[in-house]
Structure 1
């Protein structure tokens, strides 16, 4: 079996979004090796001042978002009438499709807020579909504890580990993908099988891991080469997000909350939002 190697390492950078929410961001709108993913925002704080303003009502078109919280709560409201409070360890998925207006307000628990929002591109044929939303509380996230006491949580798609396939609750996405969280308490390793047609990347949110002899440190994202196998090792406590999915080989034009295939479509989205016809 051919194992994936590190193709490129990208350092996350400090940024702010919404009403001044502090985040660590990695984006790849112009990087074809990122597809079908577009951006990862890590929210991590012990100070309410870093996030108290949250993300007031704002629009999206042409993307999906997957929000995953390690600790802290997130309240979602949208124009469709959906209201969901994401708790520690849970996830929420939204497909903006042709248009959505929503708000997201973070809430700290036990003195911590730590989570992620992942932007996923939609293929052109699905960018005009009606918006959808679903949340997955921590109780339904699929988990597997490995012999070295490390933990795998599969949020979306499937992940096969030593012949055992772990299936996450989120299966309805614009393109087939897998999103998982690997956590170690100390020295540990994992060997998994992935669809060889998927593009794969990992984001390290705690500690340092090794893939094919290359070290990926906290706050770094590694884009991986082709292959069916993925082997990761940690010498101490670590946390890793695994993102793997079918690449979308289409033009990407990004402007604020809109991701389309042409500038004309971006201009139309802006006009629709200004005219109140986005949704």
Structure 2
């Protein structure tokens, strides 16, 4: 049982920007360049969700990456991953694809459906400078492999990374120590979840169904559906009180406090390293 002595509040709410990526996939960009320093070590968060095939059918054809990790969480739908490292996997309902791009690879993510809903999130997690040119790594985590815990209040917590209520997630990382949980509240208003967060970590949450309050010693802050809440720094956790059937993702990580230099799909520490990444890609050194 988590016991929160200094609950974090909400610093600000973020609406997100509707945009397109890949070959025209419609999505909402919640975390972009202007928040990278504030939410270090996280670089980007996209939410996608539509039951209109034209919004997602073109997918994400071959494109390169270097210098960070991508975490794709599929709420609904089927997406096929292939990359230049020889990895291939099917991302489907409730599953996660965790990829360390390291020194660089080329990959594609293409829908394996022509109708129905496709919904999920893609998070970019930075790598420390010493690991930016590491060997690429890839893992498919099927839904059944994601550890879960149900609290006494009947809140289901899916632990993708980090730990919640003494349950360790599917993935751990030494330097950024990410916490990534998907929280499902029961069919009852006013149920509370307490989640511990190390005081050193930056943290935010996104409500994708229903709505909730972030509760502190002062007045609670309401977070409606399709809003991201940046949580204040320094507390040892967060207290959430939700409407019935609310669902939200909660993400936190230890900041790297290193320079961030980004050019499209490459994230390094200096402009010179970015130029080298572009040269290496053009020379075919990423596969």
Flag whether TM exceeds 0.5 (same fold): yes
Matched, 1:222 2:253: no
Query: TM-score, normalised on structure 1?
Result: 0.94
Select the residue among 86, 95, 106 that pairs with 2:111: 106
- Distance in 2, matches of 1:230 and 1:16, equals 32
Superposition deviation, residue 252 in structure 1: 1.0
Matched, 1:268 2:271: no
- Distance in 1, matches of 2:171 and 2:115, equals 27
Paired residue total: 275
Select the residue among 180, 196, 213 that pairs with 1:210: 213
Query: TM-score, normalised on structure 2?
Result: 0.91
Q: What does 1:24-173 correspond to in 2, within 5 Å?
A: 24-31=28-35, 32-108=37-113, 111-160=116-165, 165-172=166-173
- Distance in 2, matches of 1:34 and 1:118, equals 12
Select the residue among 227, 240, 244 that pairs with 2:248: 240
Q: Please identify runs of 4+ aligned residues in structure 1 that moved more than 6 A.
A: none
- Richer in strand (by share): 1
When residues 56 and 276 of structure 1 are mapped into structure 2, their CA distance, relative to the original with a 3 A threshold, is same
Q: Matched residue of 2:179: which SS?
A: strand
Superposition deviation, residue 174 in structure 1: 5.5
Matched, 1:3 2:7: yes
Q: Matched residue of 1:39: which SS?
A: strand
Superposition deviation, residue 265 in structure 1: 1.2
When residues 109 and 136 of structure 1 are mapped into structure 2, their CA distance, relative to the original with a 3 A threshold, is farther
Q: Deviations over 1:90-119 (max 9, x none)?
A: 101000011011101123498211111111
Give the stretch that moved more between structures: 268-277 or 146-155: 146-155
Unpaired segments of 5 or more residues in structure 1? Answer: none
Give yes or no for contact 1:186–1:238 (8 Å, CA) kept in 2: no
When residues 110 and 192 of structure 1 are mapped into structure 2, their CA distance, relative to the original with a 3 A threshold, is farther
- Aligned-residue Cα RMSD (Å) equals 1.6
